[in-house]
């Protein structure tokens, strides 16, 4: 059994403008990175995933895969805020009014290839490829191994508290480099992830995070893809022992699919969980 992570660009591109890059990663049960890279457009992403998948594999995709609501927010996105907001984790709303729903298109392509979307209600099976929707921020704060007990890292968007664009870029890069060092903790545990096992992901550790936006986004997409692949392994190996299914009570679409996000979770992030807040050592820092 292998695990694939897809950090999908939601927009599909046009005839005059190419789609943004999608980060892709493939790991095995030992945490070895078998393949990693980028693709542009749903056709290329679907081809990458399909050609590298074999029965028994599990795929985690960072994008809304089932969207049936005309407006507003899906229940799974509402539950992200309900259960992870104390870690400063929220989800963007998805609905049919949005102009970018590449995840729905990718889901259709994978289903046409014989892969099965899972809402978390059935186990992984050795004779089929399953895929589900994930959200890397919930992985970062829901997996204690990474040490984000207080709040999510600010490695995506700028920190508005900082005074200048240069300071914000420096801080973002430092947060990303710190996250990558924390991901080294995943080597040799279960489930494992060894970024050093493939030259493309090893470069994330060997080179400091760039400050320019385009180069930084290129790096971030691959990092998130590896987190998605590790989330797939976490779900496949531990199920609801380490993960929770957000949105399980939502209404299904016309074909019976329930839009869910499968999210790693600490006990205090589950329904009825009691949150014990870590102490701060100074503004914006946490004691791990």
Contacts of residue 203, defined as CB under 8 A and 6 or more positions apart, other chains included, come to: none
Global pTM value: 0.93
Q: What does DSSP assign to residue 284?
A: T
pLDDT at 18: 80
Distance CA 231, CA 60 (A): 7
Low-confidence ranges of the chain (pLDDT < 50): 279-288
pLDDT of residue 274: 63
Q: What is the pLDDT of residue 122?
A: 85
pLDDT at 286: 38
CA distances from 186 to 168, 170, 221, 284 (A): 28, 26, 19, 25
Q: What is the pLDDT of residue 11?
A: 79
What's the rounded Cα separation, in Å, for the pair 23 and 217? 10
Both tokens of 232, joined, read 């797939």
Residue with tokens 């990092």: 223
HEC profile for 192-246? CCEHHHCHHHHHHHHCCCCCCHHHHHHHHHHHHHHHHHHHHHHHHHHHHHCEEEE
Q: Which residue has the tokens 């990474």?
A: 146
| Token pair for 35 | 């393949």
Predicted local distance difference test score (pLDDT) of residue 233: 98
Q: What separation in angstroms does the CA of 260 have from each of 61, 204, 283? A: 12, 30, 35
Q: What is the C-alpha separation between 5 and 62, in angstroms, rounded? A: 8
Residue by residue, DSSP assigns 105-144 as HHHHHHHHTT-EE--SSS---TTS-EEEE--HHHHHHH-G
Structure confidence at residue 13 (pLDDT): 74
C-alpha to C-alpha distance for 275 and 269, rounded to whole angstroms: 7
- What's the pLDDT at 282? 37
* pLDDT tens profile 259-284: 999 999 999 999 977 655 554 433 34
């Amino acid at each position: 059994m292998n695990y694939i992570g897809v950090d999908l660009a939601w927009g599909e591109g046009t005839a005059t403008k190419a789609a943004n890059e999608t980060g892709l990663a493939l790991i095995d049960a030992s945490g070895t990175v078998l393949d990693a890279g980028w693709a542009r457009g749903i056709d290329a992403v679907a081809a990458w995933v399909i050609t590298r998948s074999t029965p028994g594999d599990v795929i985690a995709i960072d994008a809304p895969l089932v969207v049936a609501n005309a407006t507003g927010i899906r229940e799974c996105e509402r539950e992200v805020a309900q259960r992870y907001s104390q870690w400063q984790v929220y989800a963007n709303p998805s609905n049919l009014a949005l102009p970018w729903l590449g995840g729905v298109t990718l889901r259709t392509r994978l289903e046409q290839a014989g892969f099965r979307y899972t809402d978390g209600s059935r186990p992984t099976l050795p004779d089929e490829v399953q895929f589900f929707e994930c959200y890397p921020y919930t992985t970062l704060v829901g997996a204690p191994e990474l040490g984000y007990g207080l709040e999510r890292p600010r490695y995506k968007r700028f920190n508005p508290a900082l005074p200048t664009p240069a300071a914000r870029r420096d801080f973002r890069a430092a947060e990303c480099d710190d996250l990558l060092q924390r991901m080294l903790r995943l080597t040799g545990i279960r489930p494992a992830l060894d970024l050093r096992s493939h030259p493309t992901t090893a470069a994330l550790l060997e080179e400091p995070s760039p400050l320019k936006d385009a180069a930084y986004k290129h790096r971030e997409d691959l990092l998130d893809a590896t987190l998605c692949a590790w989330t797939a392994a976490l779900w496949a190996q531990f199920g609801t022992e380490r993960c929770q299914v957000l949105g399980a009570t939502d209404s299904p679409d016309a074909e019976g699919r329930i839009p869910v996000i499968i999210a790693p979770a600490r006990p205090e992030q589950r329904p009825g969980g009691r949150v014990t807040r870590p102490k701060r050592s100074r503004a914006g820092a946490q004691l791990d």
